[in-house]
C-alpha cells in the first residue's frame, strides 16, 4: 500500500507547487473514516481509495482530483457527510465526492432501474465536471483488477456493467488504454471460456511470430532513418477481447485474422506524419480501403492518427498507426492528456469546452437526460457509448459522425429532431435510396422531408443511435396519445349527451383533483384507452349526477336497435340503418369510423373483420382502442356483461378513399389441378388483395379454402363471392364472420 509521503512525492513529480496540505489532510481523513473496514480479499478498505488515487497520479491529474479519489467512498460507506466534506475540503471537492456517491434507500422496483438512476446521477455530475468521470473510471479499474475475490454472481454483474457502460465511457473521452484494460478484465468474467481460448491461441502466435515482429520493427525504423525522419517504432499485440470481437463481427477464425500485431510510428511533427505515410506507401503495397486519415477528420473523442495497412515483409499484412507524440498522449490518456489539468485552468471552466471529447460527452448526456424512464435511459446510454464510427456529410458540407451501421434515419435525427420526425426519404450521393440503407464513410446524405410525416414505430428497430430511438419512441407515444385523446373526446361527447349535458374539454380542468390526473389531456387519453370510465368523468364534473339509464326503450320506426340481451338495462342504436340526414334532437352522436389509418385508434375484428356497408358495433378495449365488429359477429356475446365497453359507431368513409378493409370468405372447391388458379384469378380480376390463405382437405374430392382478403366495401365483397360461386370448380362460396362461423 502506497504511503502518505509517496503519494505526495508522486504528485510533486509532475506538478510544481502542489497543495501538499490538501493531499495530506485527505489521506489522513479517509484513512481514519474507513478505520477497520475490510475489503472482500481481507485488505484494509483504505487500500482501495489509495490505489484509485495512484491510478490518477499516473494520469498526472491535479490535487483536487487526487483528494477526491481518496475521499470518494467516505459519504457512501462511512459516517462522513457532504456538509463535513465541504467544511474541511471545500465545496468543489464536496460536489465531486457526492457525484460519485450512489443513491441510497432507492424505492425502485428493479435492480435495472436502480442501476439506471445511479448512472443518470453520475452522468449529470460528469456534465458539470469531467473529473467525476476520471475518478469513477479509476475506481472501476481497481475494482476490476481485484474482482476475483467477489462472489460469482456479483462478478458477472459488475463485469457486464463494465463492458456495457464504463469501458465505452473511457473510449468516449479518448482514454483508449483504460478502455482496453477494462474490456480485457471484464471479458475474463463475462465469457471465461472464450477468454481462455483466445489468450492461449494468441500466446502460440506470439511465440511463432516473434522473429517476424522484430524484423518488421527494425526494417521500418531503418527505412525512416534513411529518409531523414526521426521516429520511434513500437509493436503491439492485439488484446484478447479485441481479437474476439473482430472474430465475431467478421465471422472469422483466429487463424484467418491477418492483423493480430500492430505497429505505431511516432514522429515529431505533423508534416513528418504525412512524410512517413509516403515512405511506407512507396515501399510496400497498400491494402485498398484500409487507409483512414483521423488527423484531418479527428474522432469525436479527439483521437488523431493516420491508419494504413500494407503488405510487408514475408507478404504479411502489417497494420500501422502514424502520429506525433502529442497525438499519442491524447490517444492513450484522452481528456486527461490535455494541458487543462497541468496549467492551472479550471476543469469546469471555458477551457473544457475546447476539448471536443468533453463537449461531445456533454451533448450526449443532454440527450440521455431526456429518457422517459430509467430502463430507457440505460438502453440509450449503452447505444450512445459505442464508438465505431462513420463520417457522413450534409449537402452543405457539415460532417455528421455516426456509429457504424447507422442509417439515413439516424443521420436525420443527428442533424435535428425535427428533421428526423419529418423524414420521408433520402438521397445518398445524389441517388434516391431506402431510408434503411447502411451509411458508409464519406456518403453525402440529403433528407427528404414532409410536414405530414409521423415517424413509423417500426423505425425504432432499424436505427442504431440512442437519440434516434428515443425521438421515435417519443413521437410514436405522442401520436398514439393524440389518437387516444381524440377517442376519449368522442366518448365523452357521447356520454355527456346521453346524460343530458353539453361537453366541453375546458370543464374538466376543475375536476382534475377528483380524477387524480394532472392535465385535461391525461383525462381524455385515459378515457380513450379504457382506463377511466366516462361516467366517472361525468360524476367528477357534476357531483350530483345520477346515472339513470332507460331500461326499456322503444326504438323509433326509422331506427334499428341492438339489445345486449333480454332485459338488459342498455340498448344501442345500430348505426348505418338509416340514410344520412340531420340528427334528431337529443340523439346520441355516433363515433365516425374512417379506417385503421384514421385519427382514432381503430382495429377490426381479427376473426372476419368488417367492411363499409356492414352494420357495425364498437367495443372499447383497454390500451388497444376501438375494435370494430359486424353486428352479426358471434364474438359480441363475450361482451354481453360489459355494457360500459360498447360504443355507438358509424362509417364515415370519404369518397375516393384508397383504404381497404379486412374480410374473410370460405370457398368449398373441387380438389383438382388449376382450382386455386381459377379462384385467384377471380380475386385478381376484382382487385381484391389476398392477405392469408388456409387450405384443408375435407373429402377426397373437395377442399375447404379460407381466404383473408382486403376489399373496398360490402358491394365489392358481395361481387367477389357471387363470381366465385358461379365457377364450375366451386361448390360453395360464403362470407364468414367470427370463430363460430368457421
| CA-to-CA separations, 233 to 54, 160, 314, 561, 652, in angstroms, rounded | 29, 35, 19, 90, 77
| CA-to-CA separations, 621 to 208, 445, 603, in angstroms, rounded | 68, 43, 10
184, 196 Cβ separation under 8 angstroms: no
The catalytically annotated residue of 19, 76, 444, 713 is 76
Q: Note if 76 is an active site residue.
A: yes
List the 625-630 sheet strands across, edge first: 602-604, 625-630, 616-621, 646-647
3-state secondary structure (DSSP) of residue 689: strand
Q: How do 389-393 and 399-403 pair as beta strands?
A: antiparallel
Give dist(CA 107, CA 113) in Å, integer. Answer: 10
Closest listed residue to residue 439, CA positions, set 474, 399, 410: 410
Burial class (CB in 10 A: 0-12, 13-18, 19+), 348: middle
Give dist(CA 142, CA 58) in Å, integer. Answer: 13
How is residue 518 written as a grid cell? Answer: 394532472
- The neighbour count for residue 214, using CB atoms within 10 Å, is 11
The catalytically annotated residue of 19, 77, 84, 114 is 77
Characterise 506 by phi-psi region: left (phi > 0), alpha (psi -120 to 50), beta (else): alpha
Round the CA-based radius of gyration of the chain to a whole number and report it: 35
Q: How do 649-651 and 702-711 pair as beta strands?
A: unpaired
Give dist(CA 105, CA 108) in Å, integer. Answer: 9
29, 72 Cβ separation under 8 angstroms: no
- The neighbour count for residue 155, using CB atoms within 10 Å, is 18
The catalytic site residues sit at: 76-77
Amino acid at each position: 500500500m502506497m504511503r502518505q509521503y509517496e503519494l505526495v512525492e508522486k504528485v510533486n513529480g509532475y506538478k510544481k507547487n502542489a497543495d501538499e496540505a490538501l493531499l495530506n489532510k485527505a489521506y489522513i481523513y479517509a484513512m481514519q473514516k474507513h478505520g477497520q473496514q475490510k475489503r472482500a480479499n481481507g485488505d484494509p478498505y483504505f487500500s482501495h481509495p489509495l490505489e484509485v488515487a495512484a491510478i490518477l497520479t499516473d494520469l498526472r491529474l491535479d490535487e483536487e482530483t487526487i483528494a477526491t479519489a481518496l475521499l470518494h467512498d467516505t459519504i457512501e460507506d462511512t459516517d462522513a457527510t457532504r456538509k463535513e466534506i465541504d467544511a474541511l475540503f471545500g465545496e468543489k471537492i464536496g460536489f465531486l465526492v457526492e457525484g460519485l456517491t450512489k443513491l441510497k434507500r432507492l424505492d425502485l422496483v428493479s435492480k435495472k432501474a436502480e442501476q439506471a438512476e445511479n448512472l443518470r446521477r453520475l452522468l449529470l455530475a460528469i456534465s458539470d465536471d469531467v473529473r467525476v468521470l476520471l475518478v469513477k473510471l479509476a475506481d472501476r479499474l481497481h475494482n476490476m483488477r481485484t474482482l476475483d475475490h467477489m462472489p460469482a454472481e456479483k462478478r458477472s454483474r459488475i463485469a457486464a456493467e463494465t463492458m456495457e457502460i464504463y469501458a465505452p465511457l473511457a473510449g468516449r473521452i479518448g482514454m483508449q488504454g483504460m478502455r482496453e484494460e477494462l474490456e480485457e478484465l471484464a471479458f475474463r468474467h463475462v465469457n471465461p471460456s472464450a477468454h481462455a481460448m483466445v489468450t492461449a491461441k494468441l500466446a502460440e502466435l506470439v511465440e511463432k511470430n516473434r522473429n517476424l515482429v522484430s524484423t518488421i520493427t527494425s526494417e521500418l525504423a531503418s527505412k525512416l532513418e534513411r529518409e531523414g525522419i526521426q521516429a520511434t517504432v513500437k509493436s503491439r499485440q492485439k488484446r484478447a477481447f479485441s481479437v474476439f470481437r473482430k472474430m465475431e463481427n467478421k465471422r472469422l477464425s483466429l487463424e484467418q485474422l491477418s492483423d493480430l500485431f500492430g505497429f505505431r510510428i511516432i514522429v515529431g511533427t505533423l508534416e513528418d506524419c504525412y512524410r512517413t505515410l509516403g515512405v511506407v506507401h512507396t515501399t510496400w503495397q497498400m491494402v485498398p480501403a484500409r487507409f483512414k486519415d483521423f488527423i484531418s477528420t479527428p474522432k469525436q473523442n479527439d483521437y488523431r492518427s493516420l491508419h494504413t495497412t500494407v503488405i510487408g515483409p514475408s507478404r504479411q499484412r502489417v497494420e500501422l498507426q502514424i502520429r506525433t507524440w502529442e497525438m499519442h498522449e491524447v490517444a492513450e490518456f484522452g481528456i486527461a492528456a490535455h494541458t487543462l489539468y497541468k496549467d492551472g485552468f479550471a476543469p469546469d471552466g471555458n477551457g473544457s469546452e475546447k476539448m471536443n471529447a468533453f463537449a461531445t460527452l456533454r451533448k450526449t448526456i443532454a440527450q440521455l437526460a431526456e429518457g422517459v424512464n430509467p430502463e430507457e435511459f440505460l438502453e440509450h446510454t449503452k447505444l450512445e457509448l459505442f464508438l465505431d464510427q462513420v463520417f457522413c456529410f450534409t449537402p452543405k458540407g457539415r460532417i455528421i459522425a455516426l456509429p457504424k451501421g447507422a442509417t439515413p434515419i439516424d443521420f436525420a435525427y443527428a442533424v435535428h429532431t425535427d428533421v428526423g420526425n419529418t423524414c420521408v426519404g433520402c438521397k445518398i450521393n445524389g441517388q434516391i435510396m431506402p431510408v434503411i440503407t447502411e451509411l458508409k464513410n464519406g456518403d453525402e446524405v440529403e433528407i427528404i422531408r414532409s410536414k405530414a410525416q409521423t415517424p413509423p414505430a417500426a423505425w425504432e428497430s432499424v436505427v442504431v443511435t440512442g437519440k434516434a430511438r428515443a425521438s421515435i419512441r417519443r413521437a410514436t407515444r405522442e401520436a398514439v396519445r393524440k389518437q387516444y385523446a381524440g377517442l376519449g373526446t368522442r366518448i365523452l361527447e357521447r356520454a355527456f349527451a346521453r346524460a343530458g349535458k353539453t361537453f366541453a374539454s375546458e370543464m374538466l380542468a376543475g375536476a382534475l383533483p377528483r380524477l387524480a390526473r394532472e392535465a385535461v389531456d391525461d383525462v381524455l387519453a385515459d378515457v380513450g384507452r379504457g382506463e377511466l370510465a366516462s361516467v366517472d368523468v361525468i360524476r367528477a364534473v357534476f357531483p350530483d349526477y345520477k346515472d339513470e339509464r332507460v331500461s326499456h326503450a322503444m326504438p323509433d320506426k326509422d331506427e334499428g336497435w341492438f339489445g345486449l340481451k333480454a332485459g338488459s338495462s342498455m340498448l344501442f342504436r345500430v348505426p348505418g340503418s338509416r340514410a344520412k340526414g340531420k340528427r334528431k334532437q337529443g340523439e346520441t352522436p355516433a363515433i365516425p369510423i374512417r379506417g385503421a389509418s384514421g385519427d382514432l385508434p381503430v382495429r377490426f375484428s381479427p376473426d372476419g373483420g368488417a367492411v363499409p356497408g356492414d352494420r357495425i358495433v364498437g367495443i372499447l378495449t383497454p390500451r388497444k382502442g376501438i375494435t370494430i365488429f359486424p353486428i352479426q359477429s358471434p364474438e359480441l356475446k363475450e361482451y354481453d356483461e360489459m355494457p360500459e365497453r360498447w360504443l355507438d359507431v358509424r362509417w364515415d368513409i370519404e369518397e375516393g378513399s384508397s383504404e381497404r378493409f379486412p374480410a374473410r370468405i370460405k370457398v368449398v372447391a373441387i380438389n383438382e389441378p388449376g382450382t386455386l388458379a381459377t379462384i385467384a384469378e377471380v380475386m385478381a380480376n376484382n382487385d381484391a388483395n389476398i392477405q392469408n390463405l388456409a387450405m384443408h382437405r375435407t373429402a377426397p374430392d373437395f377442399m375447404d379454402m379460407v381466404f383473408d382478403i382486403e376489399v373496398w366495401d360490402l358491394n365489392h365483397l358481395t361481387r367477389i363471392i357471387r363470381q366465385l360461386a358461379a365457377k364450375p370448380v366451386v361448390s360453395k362460396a360464403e362470407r364468414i364472420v367470427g370463430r363460430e362461423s368457421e
